[in-house]
Structure 1
Amino acid sequence: MTRPAAAPSSGRPHVFVLDGDSPVPDSLRGAVLALGNFDGVHRGHAELAHVAVAMAAKQGREAAAFTFEPHPRSVFSPEQPVFRLTPPDVKGELLAQAGLKQSFVLPFDRAIAAVSAESFVDDLLLERLGVGGLVCGYDFHFGKGRAGSPEMLQARAGARGVPVTVVPPYSWAGEPVSSTLIRTALEAGDVGRAAEFLGRPWFVRGEIAHGDKRGRDLGYPTANMHLARDCRLKFGIYAVRMKVDGIWRDGVASFGSRPTFDDGAPRLETFLFDFAGDLYGKIVDVALIAWLRGEEKFDSLEALIMQMDKDSARARAILAQTPPFLP
């Protein structure tokens, strides 16, 4: 199957956190739910959204996502947190663009992990949420010891008259799409490959912070961001686009530890072309469009500036041939 990622949907996401005994909104009781972690909200996740929206429309119900935060692997192995492709706020926005404008978020901890698969289906999905239908991927597992499977979900919910659709592996360019595949591409610096399977460029969101101001002296003032501790994007130089006040602007960015200067904590430093303005304190998105080269240590500032000139020229040329990114 090669259906493209779902087209962006209008409207902002509405997220309902299922902590304690918080009431379920009447408008969403009986909704058709797409179940999953949805990290990245890639093409395969968009297919789940498409199926859930179609099932909901057929039944005259609402469609919503059901997901978990934090990622279960971060709970079980906090010393080795999973490389998150999308933080919670971004995930909600991307799910809304895929057609699931409303989401249930179940706070995941060891107590939730100890809930049996039977109780997860009977008490949470069927009783508390009163679901009208369920959609999950072929590899969705849940409940204590991950004992719950798509087949068990079909049998248990089906016995109560609730339809369950299991979506088979979704392939793009001949490969099954997965969050793991996308993480692997980003760890190799292959942001183009990651974008193919995401259905859009991968982007990060963060606040522009004050740096050491070296870029100004070099003729390349940069906007600096500290990315999440779990980010394992390959160190290097990238052609990028930054969303500033709703407008995407072209630029070039370095992600790494600045070996020419201090080998410090990793950060993303972005130079925007033809831009003058104060970005400090702004929350921005930076989309990684193309890999240019690996991080290097230079013997002199002159050699560094010459390479930065080449990087900027190459980034401009690539971005001039790249369609606008307008999520």
Structure 2
Amino acid sequence: MPRDETAPRPVAPSFPVHRDGEPVPEGLRGAVAALGNFDGIHQGHRALIAAVREMAAALGRPSAVVTFEPHPRAFFSPGTAMFRLTGEAGKLAVLQRLGIDGAFVRRFDARLAGTGASAFVAETLKGELGLSGVVIGHDFHFGRGREGTPAMLEALCAENGLACRIVPAVAAGGGEAPVSSSAIRAALEAGDVGTANHLLGYRWFVEGAVRHGDKRGRTLGFPTANVALDACALAHGIYAVRVRLADGSLRDGVASYGRRPTFDDGAPLLETYLFDFSGDLYGQAIAVELVGFIRGEERFDSAEALVVQMHDDSARARRLLAADRTPSMLG
């Protein structure tokens, strides 16, 4: 989910989040934690979450994740735009919904990047965070220069009195290729929402604040809620969507993501038309989940031709929404 810092989604007070320099909350002391970036929180990540909850229950400890912000790739390549599937706020909200007791959000900076594997386990995981156990994926690497391997973590945990579990790769639907954030990004870049949602295990969604546009949608009879997405590589086109408004209500709709080639060919924008809705959404934080791909972005010879197509798009979106049974993280 591309991040929009203007509209972070709050996490419930009952979900403790520990950050650098803070005392560990009572609800996270002695926790068992899964380690990772958790971009997208896909089906592979869900296996880690299930494993950490199982280990935590067996040890009588809280379950948690240790995750990193900004994403390490952004730290090492600050000038390169990164298509993030899940920003920090959305990531924490999904983790809470999946039954994790809390999260440790570690600042990924030069200090952490320069910490050796041994010090990371002894000083960070055991010393600073006070963990009692860790869970990682089969390909997790850590420490300065990614020197730490899963086998090394297992040995270091044994030296420091921490329980450790390594979770094997997960292939969705019996496929041979393991589920990965890269595969989900590739699917979204191709407009293949069905595959992306299948690998995630839920409908991919974005969050952001509704901004003022040129009001052209009103003149066409399709007023839209417009959201700018940061570094989003989603295929330009028309999508069936479901929207959670700031008051928590849910609405079906149809959205266009792209540059509006019929009119201005401007900066990419997510423009969402809500079915059977009227009201002022400007400045409000909304979440938009993608349910299905309808067609690619096109340039029309006239506004009238575009309106005819928009009516057809809306009808197709309603059919896709009525038939889809993919789980939602919006409620």
TM range (shorter): over 0.9
State the partner residue of 2:315: 313
SS of the residue 1:176 aligns to: coil
Displacement of 1:110 in angstroms is 2.2
Alignment of 1:21-40 (within 5 A): 21-40=21-40
> In 2, Cα distance between the equivalents of 1:112 and 1:196?
34
> In 2, Cα distance between the equivalents of 1:290 and 1:12?
34
Alignment of 1:195-210 (within 5 A): 195-210=197-212
Q: Structure 1 residue runs of 4+, over 6 Å off?
A: none
State the partner residue of 2:9: none
State the partner residue of 1:322: 324
Displacement of 1:28 in angstroms is 2.1
> In 1, Cα distance between the equivalents of 2:261 and 2:79?
26
Classify 1:12/1:317 alpha carbon distance in 2 versus 1 (closer, same or farther; 3 Å). farther
State the partner residue of 2:286: 284
The answer to whether the 8 Å contact 2:62/2:101 transfers is: no
> In 1, Cα distance between the equivalents of 2:140 and 2:65?
14
State the partner residue of 1:183: 185
Q: 199-208 vs 171-180, which deviates more? A: 171-180
State the partner residue of 1:264: 266
> In 2, Cα distance between the equivalents of 1:258 and 1:110?
41
> In 2, Cα distance between the equivalents of 1:159 and 1:114?
21
Displacement of 1:176 in angstroms is 1.2
The answer to whether the 8 Å contact 2:64/2:101 transfers is: yes
Displacement of 1:12 in angstroms is 5.0
The answer to whether the 8 Å contact 1:50/1:98 transfers is: no
Counterpart residue type for residue 310 of structure 2: M
2:58 matched to 1:58? yes
The answer to whether the 8 Å contact 1:12/1:93 transfers is: no
SS of the residue 1:170 aligns to: coil
State the partner residue of 1:5: none
State the partner residue of 1:167: 167
Matching residue within 218, 224, 227 for 1:225: 227
Displacement of 1:129 in angstroms is 2.0
Classify 1:160/1:111 alpha carbon distance in 2 versus 1 (closer, same or farther; 3 Å). closer
The answer to whether the 8 Å contact 1:182/1:194 transfers is: yes
Question: What whole-Å deviation, never above 9, does each CA across 1:31-50 have from its counterpart, x for those lacking one?
Answer: 10110000111111111111
Matching residue within 6, 13, 16 for 1:14: 16
Higher relative contact order (CA 8 A, sep 6+): 2
> In 1, Cα distance between the equivalents of 2:68 and 2:321?
36
State the partner residue of 1:145: 145
> In 1, Cα distance between the equivalents of 2:48 and 2:14?
19
2:111 matched to 1:111? yes
SS of the residue 2:183 aligns to: helix
Question: What whole-Å deviation, never above 9, does each CA across 1:59-79 have from its counterpart, x for those lacking one?
Answer: 111111100001000111122
Question: What whole-Å deviation, never above 9, does each CA across 1:60-116 have from its counterpart, x for those lacking one?
Answer: 111111000010001111222321111101100111122213000110112211111
2:93 matched to 1:93? yes
Counterpart residue type for residue 227 of structure 2: M
State the partner residue of 2:305: 303
> In 1, Cα distance between the equivalents of 2:16 and 2:27?
12
> In 1, Cα distance between the equivalents of 2:49 and 2:207?
23
Counterpart residue type for residue 113 of structure 1: A
TM-score (norm 1): 0.93
Counterpart residue type for residue 16 of structure 2: H
Displacement of 1:51 in angstroms is 0.6
Q: State the number of aligned residues.
A: 315
State the partner residue of 2:132: 132
> In 2, Cα distance between the equivalents of 1:156 and 1:199?
33
> In 1, Cα distance between the equivalents of 2:81 and 2:137?
23
- Tell me the percent identity: 54
SS of the residue 1:186 aligns to: helix
Displacement of 1:320 in angstroms is 1.7
State the partner residue of 2:6: none
SS of the residue 1:16 aligns to: strand
The answer to whether the 8 Å contact 1:208/1:279 transfers is: yes
Counterpart residue type for residue 165 of structure 1: R
SS of the residue 1:134 aligns to: strand
Displacement of 1:14 in angstroms is 2.2
Question: What whole-Å deviation, never above 9, does each CA across 1:148-173 have from its counterpart, x for those lacking one?
Answer: 11111100111233211000001112
Q: 243-252 vs 231-240, which deviates more? A: 243-252
Counterpart residue type for residue 232 of structure 1: A
The answer to whether the 8 Å contact 2:28/2:101 transfers is: no
Over the residues paired in the alignment, what is the CA RMSD in angstroms? 1.5
Q: What are the ranges of 5 or more consecutive residues in structure 2 without an aligned counterpart?
A: 1-11
State the partner residue of 1:3: none
> In 2, Cα distance between the equivalents of 1:12 and 1:247?
22
